């Protein structure tokens, strides 16, 4: 067996923020074991590619990424690895020198050792085990970090592979979440993005047997140095009065809620195995805006789901006009082997799916533009993230922009501003869809 001494390992993190956290944990384990961490796969003995396997587009991206790696040996990690193992009837996957599923990321050190020794390690399983509390080497901006409060999912949406790829829903112990949050804040993090496939379900599998996101959030709000807490993702049917009151009443919780609604036609929602109706969604939007002044909503919708008629699609666009949600991601349905939806009748042709996506995106663009215009003249607290030397402007995010998924606010300042600094910015217009203003 080769030792870590002198061996170089690169890690490429792909996919969602939950994957980013697993990548940071693998970096910690590799560093602790004595491996030299490098950024360039061409300088590495082994490259770990932590992949997404959620949809075909993500898997193709992983394949292209691995093809670009030169002489380094490759460990295929994450959801793409699990997809190759667990999804029946799948197409040919990626050949690699080793495989580590998302439930076994904490075996990355023996996996690298095996690859260096000329073997092909295969680590899978662990998808129903408690969420690992392995520490992390934080890769992102020093002031912002994701914190995962649960792993897996039990919602079983008809189009989704997540329960297959990441296992059933498992909440982390609150003391583990709080300890990690405190460690991150001591290191300089001031913005925490609380994530899970469904944060609203947090705690139902812990002692007491009921969701308790509100209780966890109240404890997080007590951490010194923490300025912002964001929530991703809240499923509509579990947004309770208690949770709404907590979001409204806690100053540190950003008044920005990412609620994946997916559609607004009742027949399509039922086929998706979503447990609410259009009327429920409309009531929720009205309630949130009434009880959380200034709340910013974000959602995702899927067009072209099997059985979606033109009337169903029109109902979705009508809902978008009614709700006027400023942040919406529109996705064309992806038929994924291993999901219930893949076998449903009424598969919508690709050309029609893409047309509906374009129509919905054009509508949503107008809604977003109107939202941006409505902010002109207001003052927003912006977290500076850097300086764009091409634009000659600083940039950052207000409460209305979440990292990775939204844009930013560009601004001028009469003094030098450091990344991580919070400052008031008068919004005066837009720049290519992003906010633009000047620091006060």
pLDDT < 50 positions in the chain: 1-2
SS3 230: strand
Q: Residue with structure tokens 């509508």?
A: 363
Share the mean pLDDT of the chain.
94
Whole-number pLDDT of residue 32 = 95
> What does the block give as tokens for 126?
């662990």
For CA atoms 299, 167, 75, 184, give the dihedral sign: positive
Give kind and range of the element (H or E) at residue 98.
Answer: strand 98-100
Whole-number pLDDT of residue 88 = 67
Q: Write down all domains in the chain, each with its CATH number in brackets.
A: 8-123 (3.40.50.12160), 144-375 (3.80.30.20), 379-439 (2.40.50.140)
Question: CA 294, CA 381: separation in Å to the nearest integer?
Answer: 14
Question: CA 412, CA 406: separation in Å to the nearest integer?
Answer: 20
Give kind and range of the element (H or E) at residue 409.
Answer: strand 409-412
Question: pTM of the full predicted structure?
Answer: 0.92
Question: CA 225, CA 188: separation in Å to the nearest integer?
Answer: 8
Q: Any residues with CB less than 8 A from the CB of 333 and at least 6 apart, and which?
A: 159, 302, 303, 304, 305, 306, 308, 341, 348, 353
């Amino acid at each position: 067996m080769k030792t870590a001494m002198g061996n170089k390992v690169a890690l490429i993190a792909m996919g969602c923020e939950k994957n980013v956290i697993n990548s940071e944990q693998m970096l910690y384990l590799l560093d602790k074991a004595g491996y030299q961490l490098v950024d360039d796969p061409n300088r590495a003995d082994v490259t770990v590619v932590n992949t997404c396997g959620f949809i075909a587009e993500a898997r193709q991206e992983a394949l292209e990424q691995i093809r670009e790696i030169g002489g380094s040996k490759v460990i295929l990690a994450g959801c793409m690895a699990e997809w190759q193992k667990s999804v029946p009837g799948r197409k040919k996957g990626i050949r690699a020198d080793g495989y580590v599923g998302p439930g076994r990321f904490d075996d990355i050190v023996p996996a690298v050792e095996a690859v260096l020794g000329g073997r092909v390690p295969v680590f899978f399983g662990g998808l129903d085990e408690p969420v690992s509390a392995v520490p992390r080497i934080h890769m992102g901006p020093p002031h912002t970090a994701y914190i995962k409060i649960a792993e897996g999912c039990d919602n079983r949406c008809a189009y989704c592979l997540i329960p297959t790829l990441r296992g059933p829903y498992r909440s982390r112990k609150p003391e583990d979440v709080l300890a990690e949050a405190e460690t991150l804040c001591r290191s300089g993090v001031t913005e925490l993005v609380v994530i899970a496939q469904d944060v609203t379900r947090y705690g139902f599998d812990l002692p007491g047997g009921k969701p308790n996101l509100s209780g966890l959030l109240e404890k997080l709000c007590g951490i010194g140095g923490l300025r912002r807490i964001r929530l991703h993702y809240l499923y509509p049917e579990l947004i309770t009065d208690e949770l709404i009151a907590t979001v409204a009443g806690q100053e540190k919780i950003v008044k920005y809620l990412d609620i994946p609604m997916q559609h607004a036609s009742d027949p399509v929602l039922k086929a998706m195995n979503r447990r609410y109706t259009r009327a429920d969604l409309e009531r929720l939007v009205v309630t949130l805006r009434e009880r959380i002044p200034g709340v910013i909503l974000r959602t995702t919708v899927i067009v072209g789901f099997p059985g979606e008629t033109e009337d169903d699609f029109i109902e979705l666009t009508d809902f978008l006009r009614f709700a006027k949600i400023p942040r919406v991601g529109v996705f064309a349905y992806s038929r994924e082997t291993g999901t219930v939806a893949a076998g449903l009748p009424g598969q919508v042709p690709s050309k029609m799916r893409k047309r509906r996506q374009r129509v919905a995106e054009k509508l949503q663009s107008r809604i977003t533009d109107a939202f941006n215009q409505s902010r002109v003249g207001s003052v927003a607290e912006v977290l500076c993230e850097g300086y764009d030397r091409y634009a000659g402007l600083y940039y950052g995010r207000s409460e209305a922009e979440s990292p990775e998924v939204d844009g930013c606010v560009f601004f001028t300042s009469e003094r030098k501003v450091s990344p991580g600094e919070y400052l008031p910015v008068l919004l005066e217009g837009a720049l290519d869809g992003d906010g633009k203003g000047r620091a006060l």
